[in-house]
Every structure is written in C-alpha cells, then in structure tokens.
Amino acid sequence: MTSTAETGTRLQKYRLKKWISPTAKPMSKYSSGNYSNQQVRRRGTNVTDRESVRWGILGTANIALKKVVPAMLRSRLSRVVAIASRDEARAQSAASSLGIPRAYGSYEALLADPSVDAIYNPLPNHLHVPWSIRAAQAGKHVLCEKPIALSANEARELLVVRDRTGVQIGEAFMVRTHPQWHEVRRLIANRRVGDLRLVSGHFSYYRRDPSDIRSQVEFGGGALMDIGCYPIMLSRWIFGAEPIEVIADLERDPEFGVDRLTSVMMRFPSGQATFTAAGQLAPYQKMHMFGTAGRIEVDRPFNPSPDFPAHVIVDDGRVETIDIPPVDQFMLQADRFSEAILGTGTVPATLEDAIANMEVIDALVRSAESRRWGAVPSAAPRAAAPR
Ligand SMILES: NC(=O)c1ccc[n+]([C@@H]2O[C@H](COP(=O)([O-])OP(=O)(O)OC[C@H]3O[C@@H](n4cnc5c(N)ncnc54)[C@H](OP(=O)(O)O)[C@@H]3O)[C@@H](O)[C@H]2O)c1
C-alpha cells in the first residue's frame, strides 16, 4: 500500500498532468451529489460565462439526475442552466430538486434556448444520434451517453454533422477520465508487466425489468451495448490498437430478445482480449491486464466510488497495491469536456473513437449470428491520440 505522503505526492502528480482538473474542488461530503446548484454556487465560486460552459440536459434520465448533473454542479467549468423532459412537470420537479434555473416541456424548447452552450444527451440509445444531430444543428456542443449509436454507420451520420457544424461532440465514457486508467496505461508503457498479451474483463448486474430501456431491442438494449462497450473501449485503449477479428456468443432473454449473457474474444495485433458482459447475473466487475512479466488488476474498473480510493494492483513477483485518491469521474468528465469547449483541452472520448468502438460491437453481433470469427472493418479516421 502507498503511504499517505506518497498518496499526496501522487495526487499532485495527477493534478499536474490535468487528470484531475486544477479547478476541481477536493472531494468532500458533497461528492455524493446531493447538493443543489444554488448550494454549490454559494460555496464561493465566481463563474462567468467566459469561464464556464452553460449546460442543458435532455430528459430526466436516472444517470443524469443521480450522477452527471450533480457532478456538473461541482465542476467550476460547468453550469447547468436548463433541463427538458417530454413531461413539463417532470422537468420542473428535476429542476427544482437540483436547483436548475429553467425547465422545458420539450427537447425542442431546450435546443432553442440561446443561453445553452452544450447539451448532455442521456436518452435511450436509439435517440443518441437523432437528438445529438438536432443539438449540433442548433449550434450546441454535445456530450452523448454511451454507446454513441445503434451502429457504426449511424454514428458516422453524426460525424458528418459535427464536421459541418464545427461543434464538439464526445461520448460520455467517464472511465476515460479516471486516474486509475491513466495509471494502468503508465504502468504498461513503462513495461512493468513486460509485453502486454491479454486483457480480460467482466461486467455484470442483475436487472430484469420489462419497462427498462435495456430490455427493449428497438432501443438498443442488451448487455453488449449497455456494458460490453466498456471492456471493448478499454481493451482498444490499452492495446493502443483495433482488434483484427472478433468472436462472440450472445444468449438472449427469451421474452425481451435482448442479449443477457455475452462472452467475447478479440484478437489484437499484439495479443488477445476477452470479456463477459451480463445483465441477468450476479453483480461483479473486474479488469485484468496480463503481460509476460506480471499482471495488473483494476479492482473497480467501471464505477469506482468517488468517496474512497481506487485500487490498482500490480503483481510482478512482488504484489503492490497502488491507491488512487478518491475522485468523481463524472466531475472529471464534465471538466474535460468543458475544457474542450472552452478551447483549453481536447475531447476525452472522441467521436472517431466512438465509431471505432461501434465497429467492434457491430462485428461482435455479426459474429454471434454467423457463429464464426468476424473481421473488424478498419476504423474511421482516428483523432489525436487519447490523453
Ligand atoms: N455513463 C454511465 O455510467 C451510465 C450509466 C447508466 C446509463 N448510462 C447511459 O445513459 C442513458 C440513459 O440511461 P438511464 O438508465 O439513465 O435511462 P432512463 O433512466 O431510463 O432515462 C432515459 C430518459 O430518456 C427520456 N426518454 C425519451 N424517450 C424515451 C423513451 N421512448 N423511453 C424511455 N425514456 C425516454 C426520458 O426522459 P423524459 O421522460 O424526462 O423525457 C428518460 O428519463 C443510456 O444511453 C445508458 O447507456 C450511462
């Protein structure tokens, strides 16, 4: 275990590298996200329009109300100025409980609000591209939930609009901003485990609710889309390459038709990645990276607590647990994306990367249908290397 002093030094190091925004407040009791906009503003921040991004929220999704908006309220680079729902009363209720100044009874009204700079899109998966396109056409930057689309081809439609409108568009893969993954990449780059040969992951939960968006085939439901997208993205990021070919077995819920137990193998140029994603299985998450000289384990790879240290375990003959100081990855995501809009940073999970991830998901579905290995078509032109 690292000592407290070492941990403090490590935090400084992360701040210097901007993995944690220098503007972020230290984690405290309000990291749980139960504070309203007004409460947070009263804590002495002095935000002007030129220093922060004015966000509008599309819909009253759970992830928005419980994680992303509270995290934006803690980010000095973000202000949440409006929220919309298909139901005006729902919008008003969410606005008053979170302290958001304006509530709209339609998504169109939110996009017409000239005081909104950027839209957070946490709609069901089949509405990601259509509403992100409409937001971009209204001149708004867009942070869109994962997975970005129903297919790579659909995601490319968004790329065309982004390039035409010049707005920033990113995928809300909050794990990309968590310092634990930057630590893993640093360890691998420093050859701490020798040659990286295998990335292995597991992500599961149990939820069988017919009304859940994840239970609807036409909404892009199922485990592969909902959570399999994480180990795919992380394997690609860690190998720094696209898989050449993939194979998957998808077991579908007999009533809902969405995949509920999906196991995958991906062949990369320098190794393999495997994972299981499941929506009707005991909850568990873990990622392992195996090299020729050791292994790295990420204890809580996808949603580490914002209130406790995250742990990266390295075993190269000697077992070391690296404590990563508590951070709210949703707040880091808001900071990073706001920096990209303000011109002081770059989008942490780019649309090009999102399209490449969708290429893999498409190939996995084709493989499961054909019962064969399938090639992954070359990815769309890639953006600058991820930070
Ligand atoms: N990054 C993460 O950690 C994370 C975690 C969970 C989910 N997500 C992603 O976030 C998105 C939302 O997930 P969620 O579980 O938060 O969803 P949810 O609670 O079901 O919310 C979806 C929202 O979309 C709006 N909506 C518009 N048309 C809809 C329709 N036909 N059916 C249902 N809702 C509709 C609704 O808002 P109004 O009724 O107010 O208009 C609803 O509140 C998904 O893309 C998911 O993959 C990400």
**Per-residue model confidence as pLDDT tens digits over 330-346:** 999 999 999 999 999 99
pTM (predicted TM-score) = 0.88
Average pLDDT over residues 311-316: 98
Site residues for ligand 1, CB cut-off 6 Å: 59-63, 85-87, 90, 122-125, 127, 145-146, 172, 174, 213, 226
Dist CA 97 CA 87 (whole Å): 16
Q: Are strands 245-252 and 295-298 parallel, antiparallel or unpaired?
A: unpaired
298 C-alpha to ligand 1 centroid (Å): 27
Residue nearest to atom 18 of ligand 1 (CA): 61
Q: Whose CA is nearest to atom 37 of ligand 1?
A: 59
Q: Are 289 and 275 in contact (CB under 8 A)?
A: no
User: With bands split at pLDDT 50, 70 and 90, how would you rate the model's confidence at 76?
Assistant: confident
pLDDT at 20 over 90: no
Domains 23-172 and 175-375 share a fold: no
The pick from 58, 63, 174 for probing ligand 1's pocket by mutation, whose C-beta has the most ligand atoms within 8 angstroms, reads 63
Quick check: 215 pLDDT over 60? yes
Atom of ligand 1 nearest to the CA of 66: 16
Compute the mean pLDDT over every residue in the chain, rounded to the nearest whole number: 88
CA dist., res. 1 & res. 31, Å (int): 24
Ligand 1 pocket mutation pick from 144, 213, 217, 232 by most atoms within 8 angstroms of CB: 213
pLDDT reading at 26 higher than 70: no
Strand ranges (DSSP E) for the chain? 53-58, 78-84, 102-104, 118-121, 141-144, 169-171, 196-206, 245-252, 259-268, 271-278, 280-291, 295-298, 310-315, 319-324, 374-375
Percent of the chain with pLDDT over 70: 84
pLDDT higher at 182 or 386: 182
At 279, give phi and psi (nearest 5°). -105, -5
Omega of the bond prior to 269 within 30 degrees of 0, cis? no
Cα(214) to centroid(ligand 1), Å: 9
Residue 229 CA, ligand 1 centroid: distance in Å: 16
What pLDDT sits at residue 51?
87
pLDDT of residue 40: 29
Residue whose CB lies within 8 A of the most ligand 1 atoms, among 121, 126, 128, 145, for a mutation test: 145
Look-up: residue for tokens 């509920």? 260
How confident is the model over 124-157, as pLDDT tens digits? 999 999 999 999 999 999 999 999 999 999 999 9
- pLDDT attached to residue 386: 38
Let me know if domain 175-375 sits in CATH 3.30.360.10.
yes
Burial label for 332, CB within 10 Å (0-12, 13-18, 19+), is buried
Could you tell me the fold of the domain covering 23-172? Rossmann fold (3.40.50)
Quote the CA–CA distance of 85 and 297 in Å, as a whole number: 41
Burial class (CB in 10 A: 0-12, 13-18, 19+), 217: middle
**CA-nearest residue, atom 4 of ligand 1:** 63
CA of 145 to the centre of ligand 1 (A): 9
pLDDT tens for each residue of 369-383: 999 999 999 644 443
Nearest CA to ligand 1 atom 2: 63
Mean pLDDT, rounded, for 59-77: 97
Distance of CA 254 from the midpoint of ligand 1 (Å): 23
Distance (Å, whole) CA 346 – CA 386: 9
Q: Is 372 exposed, middle or buried (0-12, 13-18, 19+ CB in 10 A)?
A: exposed
Domain extents in the chain: 23-172, 175-375
